[in-house]
Structure 1
């Protein structure tokens, strides 16, 4: 059996927390920022967690499951 390879794109975008949840960044913060409110840009700065319905797929990409 060959080794399971980690998806390089996923490894750059996701990280594990101490409790085993998967941390992610928000989208829509890279360009076209003039039309977005200060509040929206500020909220997009913070990290979020991957939804539990998507956790299995992301863990598979990271080689954890």
Structure 2
């Protein structure tokens, strides 16, 4: 049986941790930063967990991580 191809876009966006959950980066941090408050940017800085409803599709896209 052939290997399953990894979705390269998903592999660049999500990383699986030891617990089996996926971490992701926050959106809205690329441009038009002047109107966003410092507090808002600070909260967007750290890694976030992928929502539980999206985990199944992420596992399908990244089978070997």
Q: How many residues align?
A: 64
| TM-score normalized with structure 1 length | 0.91
Q: Does 1:4 align with 2:43?
A: no
Structure 1 CA distance for aligned equivalents of residues 14 and 7 of structure 2: 11
The residue aligned with 1:57 is 57
Name structure 1 gaps, 5 residues minimum: none
Between Structure 1 and Structure 2, the one with more helix by share is 1
Structure 2 CA distance for aligned equivalents of residues 14 and 45 of structure 1: 15
CA RMSD of aligned residues (A): 1.0
Name structure 2 gaps, 5 residues minimum: none
Query: After TM superposition, where is structure 1 displaced by more than 6 Å over at least 4 residues in a row?
Result: none
